[in-house]
Chain A
Amino acid sequence: MEKPYILHMFTPEKNLSPFDANMALDAGWLSLVPYTNLEPGEITAMVQDAIFSRSLSGVKRTAIFIGGRDVGTAMAMLRTAQKSMVPPFEISAFADPSGAFTTAAAMVAMAEGELHKHHRAGLEGKSVLALGGTGPVGQIAAVLAARAGAKVKIIGRQLEKAQKVAELCNAEFGEGQTAIEGDADANKGELLKTADVVFATAAAGIQVLSAELLAASPQLKVAADVNAVPPSGIAGLGPHHKGTPIEGSPSGAIGIGALAIGNVKYQAQHRLLLRMRTTDKPVYLAFNEAFDIAREVVRGG
């Protein structure tokens, strides 16, 4: 009999996300085991406990998911997990804290898709604003857009915090290939005059782009919003919008709503969970891999 698929699900938080647990089951993982309140210092021992009790055929059917809320913690845990492997006893691991990696990947890939469709251009050289961008999704969207060649600014209510988050993104996640800057909400009006793409990634229920500001955004080509709770993060943009022109945009900007992003995010997360289950060689998956797969989904691959 073939050994059952076991997914060890780590989170530094008090609870695992039921969203991720459902996704893992639907991707064919048979046994899910939650480990909560995990501390970074415990990862090595947990990983080594997980790799040494199955034969090599069993090892291939074992993997780790890393959740939680904090992007930095999840990435550190993923790196520690990878370092703790003892080949040939090594298993795949996938980090997606708060679903932020797959959500950001879906949003950026979809925005890129609309740019291709309507302007025959990618993100390269585009001016991108991550509004309310100091949270997990904003940070990763900024990093992915910057790595795709965009000039990215993370916008937050406090200038200092936005700058600190931008620096952290460059240092921790950009691998020296990004020059994300931070700026304050107060300067939004000025920045929107030259913005090509806007990502709205603030907390649910906060409108970060009003109808007035939208009307004063002469170059805006694509706007995406991850907030599915009314009022929407961008005036005139509904959750179901998927490549629909936003009413009130003088430049005819295309809108991408939260449910459309959620759909691509769902497929990307599903495929990454599936890849861990079917891969022959262990894989270590985070936002870059999520972005590659989200691009495939957007292209219909």
Chain B
Amino acid sequence: MEKRAVLHMFDPMPHVSPFDINMAVDAGFEVIVPYSNVKTEEVHGLVQDAIFSRGPAGVKRTGIFIGGRDLAVALTMLETAKAAMVPPFQVSVLADPSGGFTTAAALVALVEKQLKLKHGAELAGQRAVVFGGTGPVGIATGVIASLAGADVTLVDPFSVETALAKADEYNHRCGAHLHGTFASSEADKARLLSNADVVFCTAKAGIEVLNASVLADARRLKVAGDVNAVPPLGIEGIKLKHNGEPLVYAINSPGAVGVGALAVGNVKYQLQNHLLALLLQSESPVFFDFRAAFERAREIV
């Protein structure tokens, strides 16, 4: 009899997310084991405990999911998990804290597709601005776009220090070329928008970051994407299901289009399902973070 598919779900927070658990079950994992309040230094021991008890056929039916809320912690845990493997005793690992990696990957892939479709352009060389750029989804979005060749600025709503520190940290960590700045006033936002080709909005749910009047200052905007599904939405004029519809308030950026939160959510959902299923299907172990998620998201869109 084939061994049952087991997913060990590690989380530095008090609870593993029911969202991820549902997704894992629906992707084919038969046994879900949650581990909460996991510390980074515990990952090595947990991983080795997970790989040594099932034999070579069993490890193929075993996976690890790393959740939580924090991007850096999840990346560190993923690296630690990978380093703890003892071939041939090794299992596949997916990190997706707060669903941030799959959300960011879906967002950038959809925006990239619209760039190509509506403007015949690649991400490389575009000036991209990430509002809400210092949160987990924002940073992952920025890194993915930067690695694809865009000139990316992470925007914090309050603090330039935070933005610069995050940009610096992830430039070192992921080999990206991020800039950092802050935009607390409408004037700040207008200045950033005026020469942006691409805008990503990954700010908190329920906050309108860019209103119609600020959008009028955009001179060369091509595509804007928003992940906020809770009204008011992040960018005025982009509806939840928009996927390439005109950005009506960007009156000085002819041809600008928008991507809405449900369009992103739909791809994110397929992507997470696909990545979880791949943990079971891969012949040799895979270690997925947001970069791998982006490659798969490109295939999906």
Using a CB–CB cutoff of 8 Å, the interface residues on chain A facing chain B are 3-4, 6, 8, 31, 33-38, 42, 46-47, 49-50, 52-54, 58, 62
Whole-angstrom distance between the alpha carbons of A35 and B32 in the complex? 13
A8 close to B26 (CB less than 8 A)? no
Whole-angstrom distance between the alpha carbons of A35 and B36 in the complex? 9
A33 close to B32 (CB less than 8 A)? yes
B25 close to A49 (CB less than 8 A)? no
Counting CB contacts under 8 A, is B119 at the interface?
no
Count A-B pairs with CB separation below 8 Å. 52
Q: B1-36 toward A: CB 8 Å interface, digit per residue (1/0)? A: 000000000000011111111110110001110101
Instruction: Report 20 cross-chain contacts, Cβ distance below 8 Å, ordered by A residue.
Output: A3-B25, A6-B22, A8-B18, A31-B21, A31-B25, A31-B30, A31-B31, A33-B16, A33-B18, A33-B21, A35-B15, A35-B16, A36-B36, A46-B15, A50-B18, A50-B19, A53-B18, A53-B26, A54-B22, A54-B26
B26 close to A49 (CB less than 8 A)? no
Number of interface residues of B (CB under 8 A): 18
Report chain B residues within 8 Å CB of A4.
Answer: 25-26, 30
Report chain A residues within 8 Å CB of B26.
Answer: 3-4, 53-54, 58
B14 close to A31 (CB less than 8 A)? no
With both chains docked as a complex, state the minimum distance between the C-beta of A24 and any C-beta of chain B, in angstroms: 14
Quick one: given A33-B34, A37-B14, are A6 and B19 in contact (CB under 8 Å)?
no
Closest B residue to A50 using CB positions: B18
Closest B residue to A4 using CB positions: B25
Closest A residue to B33 using CB positions: A33
Closest B residue to A64 using CB positions: B18
A49 close to B34 (CB less than 8 A)? no
Counting CB contacts under 8 A, is B269 at the interface?
yes
A49 close to B17 (CB less than 8 A)? yes
Among B18, B23, B26, B34, the one with the most A-chain Cβ atoms within 10 Å of its Cβ is: B18
Interface residue from A34, A35, A36, A58 paired with B22 (Cβ < 8 Å):
A58
Closest A residue to B229 using CB positions: A52
A50 close to B15 (CB less than 8 A)? no
